[in-house]
Structure 1
């Protein structure tokens, strides 16, 4: 971290500054026991201070700094916020409640607030694990409800801290209707809290478990939406790296095609991807399992696994143990056997083979996949679902990884000669025929 809060900028004119501007306007700050007024610009990278000629003079880099809002008896007509930097507080003021709300909204994109109880009322615990808890909370000003994802600092590891940072950084970049939205981040001595969209209708895995199988029409619509979402994500330079049914939240009780993608703890920047071994067995692209360099096309492969699963109600790579599933995953033999596939068109199967091609050089990008014949089938797009009823079948459960890498998976890596750094791997269960 830099030792000085303010850094000098030499001869940079405001009109030449091309950063995204979150907010700009006059702020007051204390100097020699008096308030001094200057023009400031807040961007995703920092707070910029201008001279009277509107030329940028100084800037402060902001990266998840703690921000606290306050009022001060010394200046009773002012509303203040304080930015913490190197254990020091830098105070700024505005002269109206409307302005402090505007700055508060803008600062939520770059910093972490301190006191959630001033802004939100906790309604109930939705779910919890040993790693995190999710609460339903209500905004005290607007009455809007949100999900609050809480991480206790006592229980999170260094790897988990990196995952939380990844998620915050990724979600602050993303602005798209098919992704979960991050509204604010709060940090105290005890925990870190993320305020997110509340999606009350469960995951796509839960929906699939209850419906057994989606129609081909709905599967096509989901595929188009997923690929549009991935095209956007890759265009802004991010890879999700853990796309799966559990990380897709349903936003409608009645529609199977309305959803938001979540969980960016394993995401990485395309320009700085360390080729870490990560993902969820059964969804992992073969190049990751082979310890090869990879890019955004690992997300396309995972998308193919999802489409295969919702069309048939079963996973393409199954087994009675984690090791079996990983071995099936690394072989990448995609088959369309069983009665569940009898009513599915050949176009759909060809599409799945294409986006699950084990060779990433032959696997299409999101944009290339979107022009596939199946995704543009006029009959399906007009609403003619092509699906025969699913025949009753006995159900068994197969498991795949969540959390830390299992001993069985570790043996598989050693056997394949994969000595790359191991990221988070996840264990969950899925219904299979």
Structure 2
């Protein structure tokens, strides 16, 4: 009787079709393919049920797809779209296969695929990975909703709640979406957001935990990153007011630390083929148990992938890159321009594009005439190298604008000692000469200076800054080597590290 009960559970299917099946626009669970991309998460051999028979297959798990090798083939010949698959586990009883008791079931519409794992450890690994990329059911049994959160989702409005997992009392944020009122456009936005977030795994990017669905609603679980957004934090903590009263102003190193963390998140995002398209102060969150400079990048509802060349115009007035107004053929560098606007806000305490209403701000944003000579600064002691990075991020021309990798490699972060970057350089660059390290650092080579000479036009504020720093930027490579030898890197330590490796 016990075996029969398990058998009934094994055969039970979810009676409705996921809304994500419609977004995929495909009828078959497994699709023929001879291509596999480079974002593999996990792989191994499992038993797959094919025509009532169990066959050993090699599977390769990706954020969106589960690839499988063909029988007698070294190539992955088909894949399953995981975003539209329900995930269930079951216990398998068969006297002829005593080791294969742990089962995983995938359901696409009313089509099923059953997998068997040879032991509990293998099962736990596969199930842990799959639950983030598939759809789960029975949300109400596994989580308890605590209350509504004040923050609004940009697309779906007031739909965010705090909740706790019954199993381990772990807190999460859940986005609850009513399937009866969601439009076709919102379905596409939701599908794109989930698809992009599942590719990302970085400490300063909003992390998607699980997705649940029932007949009425979709539930998207995020890490409990909520605290306060950066704009509200600055307003409530009166950082700007205190900085104005101080002779030093806002600490330059604090600004560098904030930007460096966001740049790391952007670089990770771009390396996975995703860009945000709506980076602004309201989408940077300071978690409750953290404090500046730690911020988390969230709200990926307008995110896109870099595998296309045509994109819609989107973004927040005042933060939009100028090329978005001119063409649909823009690149991921629009995120760097938006980050440059945040940098400008932290330095000057105001947006570079102002107006009485949204239309006036948009017109100013499109012209992109930025005043870097505005004398009233919040960050009063911003260095020349800091201003150099700001101008590099806010360059009108995307081809001349810094990428995330170039910005992270900027010498301002080395000077500020941001996030122990100097130590990271020593570890990453082991075995390379000091001159090679310096030549690889953005903005300090003569060739870069000559091609971007407009970035170095002096201002009244520049004249007050340290003369040594000016010479460092415009000096010869030999002078820079001497500077780094005497102050920055302590070559004797480098030699000891190289000798010990």
TM range (shorter): 0.7 to 0.9
Task: State how 1:235-314 maps to structure 2 within 5 Å.
Answer: 235-251=271-287, 253=289, 255-291=291-327, 293-314=329-350
User: Aligned to 1:169, which of 195, 199, 203?
Assistant: 195
Deviations 1:152-203, CA, capped at 9 Å, x for gaps: 2233222222211111111111122221111211222222222111113211
Task: State how 1:2-401 maps to structure 2 within 5 Å.
Answer: 3-6=27-30, 20-27=40-47, 29=49, 32=52, 36=54, 38-44=56-62, 45-48=65-68, 59-69=78-88, 71=90, 78=101, 80-94=103-117, 100-127=123-150, 129=152, 131-211=157-237, 212-213=239-240, 214-251=250-287, 253=289, 255-291=291-327, 293-335=329-371, 336-337=373-374, 339-341=376-378, 343-347=380-384, 348-378=386-416
Runs of 4+ in 1 over 4 A off after TM superposition: 1-4, 6-10, 16-19, 53-58, 70-80, 93-100, 378-382
Aligned-residue offset at 1:356? 0.8
- Relative to structure 1, the CA distance from residue 221 to residue 81 in structure 2 (aligned partners, 3 Å threshold; closer, same or farther) is same
In structure 2, how many angstroms separate the alpha carbons of the residues matched to 1:144 and 1:153? 26
In structure 1, how many angstroms separate the alpha carbons of the residues matched to 2:378 and 2:279? 23
**The 10-residue stretch of structure 1 (303-312 or 367-376) with the greater mean CA deviation from structure 2:** 367-376
Q: Secondary structure at the match of 2:148?
A: strand
Aligned-residue offset at 1:94? 4.7
Structure of higher CA gyration radius: 2
Q: Secondary structure at the match of 1:340?
A: coil
In structure 2, how many angstroms separate the alpha carbons of the residues matched to 1:176 and 1:265? 18
Aligned-residue offset at 1:381? 8.3
- Relative to structure 1, the CA distance from residue 216 to residue 155 in structure 2 (aligned partners, 3 Å threshold; closer, same or farther) is farther
Contact 1:66 1:114 (8 Å CA) reproduced: no
**The 10-residue stretch of structure 1 (53-62 or 191-200) with the greater mean CA deviation from structure 2:** 53-62
Aligned-residue offset at 1:344? 3.5
In structure 1, how many angstroms separate the alpha carbons of the residues matched to 2:93 and 2:158? 41
In structure 1, how many angstroms separate the alpha carbons of the residues matched to 2:215 and 2:226? 30
Aligned-residue offset at 1:58? 6.1
Q: Secondary structure at the match of 2:233?
A: helix
Q: Structure 2: give runs of 5+ residues left out of the alignment.
A: 1-24, 241-249, 421-501
Aligned-residue offset at 1:322? 0.7
- 2:499 aligned residue: none
How big is the alpha-carbon RMSD for the aligned residues of Structure 1 and Structure 2?
Answer: 3.3
Contact 2:310 2:328 (8 Å CA) reproduced: no
Aligned-residue offset at 1:360? 1.6
Q: Secondary structure at the match of 1:368?
A: helix
- 1:431 aligned residue: none
In structure 2, how many angstroms separate the alpha carbons of the residues matched to 1:224 and 1:184? 29
Aligned-residue offset at 1:84? 2.1
Contact 1:66 1:84 (8 Å CA) reproduced: yes
Q: Which has the higher contact order (CA 8 A, sep 6+)?
A: 1
In structure 1, how many angstroms separate the alpha carbons of the residues matched to 2:172 and 2:48? 33
In structure 2, how many angstroms separate the alpha carbons of the residues matched to 1:9 and 1:286? 39
In structure 2, how many angstroms separate the alpha carbons of the residues matched to 1:223 and 1:2? 42
- Relative to structure 1, the CA distance from residue 193 to residue 273 in structure 2 (aligned partners, 3 Å threshold; closer, same or farther) is farther
Q: Name the structure where strand makes up a greater proportion of residues.
A: 1
Aligned-residue offset at 1:78? 4.6
Contact 2:92 2:103 (8 Å CA) reproduced: no
In structure 1, how many angstroms separate the alpha carbons of the residues matched to 2:289 and 2:278? 25
Q: Secondary structure at the match of 1:279?
A: coil
In structure 2, how many angstroms separate the alpha carbons of the residues matched to 1:225 and 1:202? 17
- Relative to structure 1, the CA distance from residue 55 to residue 369 in structure 2 (aligned partners, 3 Å threshold; closer, same or farther) is closer
In structure 1, how many angstroms separate the alpha carbons of the residues matched to 2:33 and 2:410? 50
In structure 2, how many angstroms separate the alpha carbons of the residues matched to 1:188 and 1:126? 22
Equivalent residue pairs, number: 375
Aligned-residue offset at 1:233? 2.0
Aligned-residue offset at 1:380? 8.2
Q: Name the structure where helix makes up a greater proportion of residues.
A: 2
In structure 2, how many angstroms separate the alpha carbons of the residues matched to 1:100 and 1:41? 13
- Relative to structure 1, the CA distance from residue 99 to residue 346 in structure 2 (aligned partners, 3 Å threshold; closer, same or farther) is closer
In structure 2, how many angstroms separate the alpha carbons of the residues matched to 1:50 and 1:259? 45
In structure 2, how many angstroms separate the alpha carbons of the residues matched to 1:329 and 1:160? 27
Q: Secondary structure at the match of 2:182?
A: coil
- 1:406 aligned residue: none
- Relative to structure 1, the CA distance from residue 40 to residue 298 in structure 2 (aligned partners, 3 Å threshold; closer, same or farther) is same
Contact 2:46 2:116 (8 Å CA) reproduced: no
Q: What is the TM-score normalised by the length of structure 2?
A: 0.66
Q: Structure 1: give runs of 5+ residues left out of the alignment.
A: 383-433
